A = this chain, B = another copy of it.
Amino acid sequence: MPAGSQLLVTTDLCIEGVHFRREWHSADCVGHRCLARGLSDIAAMGGEPVACFLSLGLPAQLPKKWIDGFLRGMLRLAGQFRAPLAGGDTSSAGKIMADIVVLGTVPASQAVLRSGARPGDSVYVTGDLGGSAAVLKSFYGKKAIAAGSAHRHFYPVPRVEVGRWLRRKKLASAMIDVSDGLSVDLAHICQESRVAAVMEESAIPIAQGATLDSALHGGEDYELLFTAPPKASLPPKIADVAVTKIGEIKPQSSGRYAIQIRDQAGRLKPVKPKGWQHFR
């Protein structure tokens, strides 16, 4: 490990039937998405990926072609982000399951945490939201998938370069990736930072083919959600990715929801965190 750096460790469990379906997602896409989740976690702390590890459970009857495709998708992304596969474990299993560990580094005390948001900070998001949920909705409804925004569902690009830029410039006071849904992930920042937030409905960047509801609660967008002090000057794009101001951090006050949204008519409405929650 480089001297003066801290180690980042993230684990992400992907299980067939929960995180992907073989009839919807190609093996190559599953391998890509499993690793993208971990790289996105490293990005959300402003870290540099170092290596990845894979624990893979496989049904005995699974065609070797599927495993080859999975590894091809995973290793291509690992190569792009210089996070070589450095070890792991294999086992027989009833359903396909992959647990991916990503190690990263960040200069000591410079990791961007979830706990640094302060009242008055602006709330930003990269890219657009809800596209991944729109693709899943099409699958469930057996409808054709619009080509435009679908690619980011199947092959999300972790925002490592944006996270690194924000950490180096010391611009982000708190950061998380949008993996469970904007409402859930902003609630994590509010909880850890002991603050509240107000979003502007008109400002939320909604992906092509998606709705406000899927942008708020959809999940799996793997964009970065971050806060920055009011005086911070943010460019409209970072590393070629659009950055949009969507709201403001407020002081915590009891008796109301931590997150509210101002609709087009100027009315404030509470936003319940209702993105992806396991065991519901």
Contact = CB atoms under 8 A, between A and B. Distances in A.
A99 interface: yes
Contacts of A93: 15, 18, 95, 97
Contacts of A279: 58, 60, 92
A99 B13 contact: yes
Give the bracket for the number of chain A residues in contact with chain B.
35 or more
Which of A55, A60, A88 has the most chain B CB atoms closer than 10 A to its own CB?
A55
Nearest to A56: B13
B92 A18 contact: yes
A276 B1 CA distance: 34
A107 B175 CA distance: 34
Interface string A128-148: 000000000000000000000
26 contacts: A7-B7, A7-B103, A9-B51, A9-B103, A10-B87, A11-B55, A11-B87, A11-B89, A11-B99, A11-B101, A12-B55, A12-B89, A13-B56, A15-B57, A15-B91, A15-B92, A15-B94, A18-B92, A18-B93, A57-B97, A89-B99, A92-B278, A94-B95, A97-B97, A99-B99, A101-B101
Interface of A: 1, 3, 5, 7, 9-13, 15, 17-19, 51, 53-58, 60, 86-95, 97, 99, 101, 103, 278-279
